[in-house]
Structure 1
Amino acid sequence: MSTVTASLPIARFTREEYLRLPESSPGFRFELLDGELVTMNDPLPRHQMVVMALGAALFGWAREAADRGQVLLSIDTDVGRDTILGPDLQWFAADRELPPTSERPWPVGDLVVEVASPSTSRYDARTKLARYLAAGAREVWLVAPDPLGARLVRPGGETALDADGVLRSPLLPGFALPLTALRDR
């Protein structure tokens, strides 16, 4: 097994073996990267507060109209051969054909959101970002709680936002969330 924060013995898993693992273990989350099990510590409260604020804003926006798709928190997401990642949030367009809600893994969302943690920010920004885009994500948001900021990445382009920026997307008409809404309360 390997971890994002420390090097441990490597365990190889097939997709099928990974999917037979428990969905969660106290204190750890798992992902599968090219057949290698990646373990991560559970996120800190600050990370979870930002994920919840983003998720609430996206969910609220999606619930305002029937054609605004579906927002999900971290789920096993198929991003390639023997690679299953768990982004913090995803939005799926209303016209997407999706598997039953009792199945895993799911396809990559149209919008994928990763909130940086001190131990995983490089992994999110380098490895996972490229995998999401290659698997068909139309946009990826990399949100940093401290210092507050975000990168909005689309195939062929990127926008950086500082703490005074506003999260918007051409995929989400009418959605606007000032990053200041993600500050500690």
Structure 2
Amino acid sequence: MGLTVHELTKLQADYPDYRMELVDGEVNVMSPSGYEADEVSIELAAQIRNWVRPRQLGRVTGSSAGFVLPNSDTRAPDVSFVKAERLRRSPRSFAELAPDLMVAVKSPTDSVAKLRDKIQEFLALGTQVGILINPESRQVEVYRLGQEAIALNDGDILTIPDLLPGWEVGVADLWPLVFE
């Protein structure tokens, strides 16, 4: 028999230095992401938050925010967005819904195939847009349920008009700066 969300919460209280997800009743301990991957996550989250907050469009979170999904898994995307009308107040613990937008940023130890599978799982559970960011290849893939993925590269503009009308960011602006 698998673990419950309540048991996961207790485990996290007992081991606060570990990031954990609950998938199919099993605990996955998440290793820290690479520095570059985290910097990319923070940049995207900041870009989205700076658009969302003054317009009161919803909530933007990073990798510490967990979601109890409709299938009872508890997952934590690297960046997520939930529309205001779906989450009027921030829950103290996990949000019990699938985020409208979830972002996975590939770190050095991640498998691109597994990240794509994770995005498809979120889409099947109600997420509208999933994004895979790969700093190694400097590519962004945008997924929507039942549609072909859209691949973006440096020189392209990332937009999410169905969730964030008017918002855009250049793909090249997501990558960490190089100080010479």
Residue 120 of structure 1 pairs with residue 101 of structure 2: no
User: Is the partner of 1:43 in helix, strand or coil?
Assistant: coil
Residue 129 of structure 1 pairs with residue 119 of structure 2: yes
Structure 1 length normalisation: TM-score? Answer: 0.84
CA distance in 1, matches of 2:107, 2:155: 20
CA distance in 2, matches of 1:109, 1:130: 13
Which sections of structure 2, spanning at least 5 residues, go unmatched?
none
Q: CA deviation at 1:98?
A: 4.7
Shift >4 Å, 4+ stretches: none
Q: CA deviation at 1:36?
A: 1.1
Residue 69 of structure 1 pairs with residue 58 of structure 2: yes
Shifted more, 91-100 versus 150-159: the winner is 91-100
CA distance in 1, matches of 2:98, 2:80: 8
Structure 2 length normalisation: TM-score? Answer: 0.86
The 1:94–1:81 alpha-carbon spacing in structure 2 relative to 1, beyond 3 Å, is closer
Matching residue of 2:166: 174
Q: CA deviation at 1:107?
A: 1.5
CA distance in 2, matches of 1:172, 1:19: 32
Give per-residue Cα distances to partners, 1:28-70, cap 9 Å, x unaligned: 421111011112211111011001100110000112323x222
The 1:178–1:136 alpha-carbon spacing in structure 2 relative to 1, beyond 3 Å, is same
Counterpart of 1:39 (choices 19, 25, 29) is 29
Please tell me the residue identity of whatever aligns with 2:34.
Answer: L
Aligned length: 172
CA distance in 2, matches of 1:132, 1:54: 19
Which sections of structure 1, spanning at least 5 residues, go unmatched?
1-10
Query: 2:4 touches 2:25 (CA, 8 Å); kept in 1?
Result: yes
Matching residue of 2:175: 183
* Percent of paired sites with the same residue: 27
Matching residue of 1:4: none
Query: 1:84 touches 1:105 (CA, 8 Å); kept in 2?
Result: no
